[in-house]
Amino acid sequence: MLIVMAGLSGAGKSTLAQVVGARRRITVLSVDQIETAILKAGISAGQPIGLAAYLVAETLAESVLMHDRDIIIDAVNAVDPAREQWVNLAERTGSGVRFIEVVCSDREEHKNRLVERAAKRQEAGAAVRKGVEHNLDEYSPWTGASGAVARITLDSVGAIGVNVERAIAFLDA
């Protein structure tokens, strides 16, 4: 099964992906980590790093799925073309696909998470300066092929344990 996380940066999807992955013994592929590796390789930030990272994740996920293994894709997946990439991959590999969307309904908490992340990564806080509201504007509604796929939306303001149980129940349904 192809399990695809979706949600804004700082929403809590990576935390949920890691816990669900550990509980279910499923590999988690993080697009953020792939982007970081691409930048470490000396590729200019002016290049389409995000697209490259999504394509690398797709290639690696395809290999895993072709070996009849489950995989979790940890990525923002803010727009239909990104989401449909995973739907198409599932179709090509004959795999089931499920989306787990994570939101943080408390905007102040969401902002605090972005500030903490920027501090940990010693970044200039670009994601924070951009603002949660701006990020929300860039997050497209679920339409097209991805809108027809099974999806659960979890609010990370709730307890992680409860969200993990809900996610696992959704995957088992």
pLDDT (tens digit per residue) in 143-153: 989 999 999 99
Q: What is the pLDDT of residue 124?
A: 47
pTM for this entry: 0.89
116 pLDDT tier (thresholds 50, 70, 90): confident
Tokens of 114: 């972005």
CATH number of domain containing 93: 3.40.50.300
Task: Give me the number of domains the chain comprises.
Answer: 1
| pLDDT tens, position by position, 24-77 | 999 999 999 999 899 899 998 889 999 999 999 999 999 999 999 999 999 999
Q: What is the pLDDT of residue 113?
A: 79
- Average pLDDT of 103-129? 70
Tokens of 107: 């905007």
- Residue 120's domain comprises 2-172
Relative to beta strand 97-103, strand 2-6 is parallel
Per-residue CA distances from 154 to 39, 66, 97, 172 (Å): 31, 29, 17, 16
135 pLDDT tier (thresholds 50, 70, 90): low
112 pLDDT tier (thresholds 50, 70, 90): confident
Q: Please, is 64 exposed, middle or buried when counting C-beta atoms within 10 Å of its C-beta (0-12, 13-18, 19+)?
A: middle
- Average pLDDT of 109-131? 63
